Structure 1
Amino acid sequence: MTGGTGATERVADVLLLFAAGPPTLGVSRVSRELDLSKAVVHRILKSLGSRDLIAYDPETREYRLGPAAAALGSRALRESDLRTTALPLLTELRDRLHETVTVSSKVHGGRIYLDQAVGTHEITMSVELGRAYPLHAGSSGKCMLAYSAADEVDRLLAGELAALTSSTPTDPDALRLELDRIRELGYAASAGERQSDAGSVAVPVFGPGGLVGAVSVCGPRFRVTGDFVAATAPEVIEIADRLTARLGGIAPDRARPTSSGRTR
């Protein structure tokens, strides 16, 4: 690795930390999280600040993402092939099920929501677009993790599995067994793993190069029950497979669930 490449990667890592972490970060926190010296972190932050990619708050002495970063994120969301191709299918499934339907994209170290068709119930769910979430929490993340490369799965399970709620899976052995089951069925389910009062069911989406994201149906836990997941999974698989086909990908073989929840 050349020095220039290493410097570029450090800058990228700092930006990604802001995308995945808390709204504001100080030099010491960035230094600790990325195992970089404070001097290096300060130079990177100063450079990013000169281009409005981050902004400094003199009262808290911390940094947050700046307007240029927001512009880049908005442009990326608008021009995402996955998002634009998925949107009519999300709306179609939302109109059938009346719950919120989302599309997520896999990114370095996690995943982000690209878009959603918000449900039509009086009490419904909406998600935060563009914010990074870990792969081990929630149905969208887990179904992408299940179809990720084996070495990536091993690295994630060997690290800390942060508990976002009391229901987030944090046992690597139990999670590995669940990933096997997800590959068998072709879908993942979640009950309060990323957000305590929410439930969801998700199916991975593939492009020409392999895994690209996931489609999920989500709603309040009192509606997204085990029976709802069993009845809904075939419809989510159908939509995800149609999206995969439109993107030029190939859906994996799996034991498809019937509306009774049994596989065939």
Structure 2
Amino acid sequence: MVQSVQRAVRVLRELAAGGPRLGVTELAERVGVAKPTVHALLRTLEGEGLVVQDSETGRYQLGPGLLLLGNAYLETQELRARSLSWADTLATRADEAVWVTVLTGDHVFVVHHAFRPEGVVQILEVGASIPWNTCALGKATVAFLPPEQRKALLDGDLPALTGASVTDPAALSRQLDEVGRTGHALENQESALGDAGIAAPVFDRTGVAGAIGIIGPVERVLDDSARQDHIVAVREVARQISRELGAGRGSARVPRP
């Protein structure tokens, strides 16, 4: 691993987590390297448009170059490209918002967000990053990972976002086993109070590629009269996207509704 690149990435991550602006001294303490080294990294990153310096305070923040890289990633992300129309179809059928996510480290990253059809004010969540253990989308993905990857995530950091978040590895393991059996995952106010989710895994030619799910108020998403219809719809759409990604009829391993 190239140390200078690793340090530059850590600087960017600290700016993303500790914002909106940080000074050289703060960054040096957080990254654990000397101030001259951090200053040199910042000047290089600034030259590439990845950070910008406030002219009044001298502090740094993330730059517009990162947005260009992020947009380029989204445009080339195959799961997102294949799921665009299917996510809209699912949002219309369920009358709820739909997210498509991929696993990055121990978080799921939202690569597409189809708004709920009803004309209410909604916030675009593309780019949101959520701990895998706190959402249906994360559990739907992790349940179908190879055993060693699943174990590593269960042994890793399991944060709590609400009082309902599950942080016990044994309890999570049982939930993942159930997801593997049924082909879908549920979330009840585990990442945000008042919200619930139902998600199913999406597969490509090599294995699980991510997940798609509906997100909305718990009283609608998990309502007894609507829950089973939502589960069927999510799993059907996940299966269709999987086929478009080359998973084939037999390789998705998700039980039929």
Stretch deviating more after TM superposition (123-132 or 205-214): 123-132
Corresponding residue of 1:248? 246
Q: Which residue of 200, 205, 211 maps to 1:203? A: 200
Write out aligned runs for 1:136-175 (5 A): 136-175=133-172
Contact 2:80 2:111 in 1 (8 A): yes
Q: CA deviation at 1:63?
A: 3.6
> Corresponding residue for 2:236?
238
Q: Is the partner of 1:119 in helix, strand or coil?
A: coil
- Percent of aligned pairs sharing the same letter: 28
- Taking a change above 3 Å as real, the CA distance of residues 238 and 22 of structure 1, as seen in their structure-2 partners, is farther
1:112 paired residue number: 109
Aligned counterpart in structure 2 of residue 176 of structure 1, from 158, 173, 176: 173
Distance 2:44 2:241 in 1: 40
Superposed CA offset, 1:81-117 (max 9, x none): 2212111111111221211122112223422111122
Partner Cα separation in structure 2 for residue 42 and residue 156 of structure 1? 35
Q: Secondary structure at the match of 1:162?
A: coil
Superposed CA deviations along residues 24-69 of structure 1, whole A, max 9, x for unmatched, are 36467766766x4244544433322221212234667654321000
Given the alignment, which residue of 36, 44, 47 partners 1:47? 44
CA distance in 2, matches of 1:204, 1:224: 18
1:222 to 194, 199, 219: 219
**CA 1:246 to 1:191, structure 2 compared with 1: closer, same or farther past 3 Å?**
same
- Output the TM-score relative to the length of structure 2: 0.84
Partner of 1:24: 20
Conserved? CA contact 2:221–2:230, under 8 Å: no
1:69 is matched by which residue type in structure 2? L
Deviation at 1:18, TM superposition (A): 5.0
Taking the aligned partners of 1:145 and 1:28, their CA distance within structure 2 comes to: 38
Deviations 1:173-210 (A, max 9, x none): 21111111111111111111112121110111112222
Q: SS at 1:235's partner residue?
A: helix
Unaligned 5+ segments in structure 1 are: 259-264
Query: Is 2:84 aligned against 1:87?
Result: yes
Q: Extract unaligned runs of 5+ from structure 2.
A: none
SS in 1 for 2:196: strand
TM superposition shift of 1:213? 1.3
Structure 1 residues 41 and 183: CA distance shift in structure 2, 3 A: farther
Contact 1:100 1:126 in 2 (8 A): no
Aligned residues: 252
Q: What displacement does 1:240 show?
A: 0.6
> Structure 2 residue aligned with 1:37, among 24, 30, 33?
33
How far, CA to CA, are the matches of 2:39 and 2:108 in structure 1? 28
CA distance in 2, matches of 1:142, 1:32: 35
Moved more, 52-61 or 70-79: 52-61
TM-score normalised per structure 1: 0.82
Alignment match of 2:66 (pick from 62, 65, 69): 69
The 2-side partners of 1:28 and 1:231 are apart by 55
The letter for the 2-side match of 1:133 is: I
Residue number in structure 1 paired with 2:100? 103
Q: Which of 9, 14, 17 is the equivalent residue of 1:12?
A: 9
Q: Distance in 2 between matches of 1:74 and 1:223?
A: 32
User: Over residues 204-250 of structure 1, what are the superposed CA-to-partner deviations in whole Å (9 max), with x where a residue is unaligned?
Assistant: 11122222211111111121115333331121111111101101125
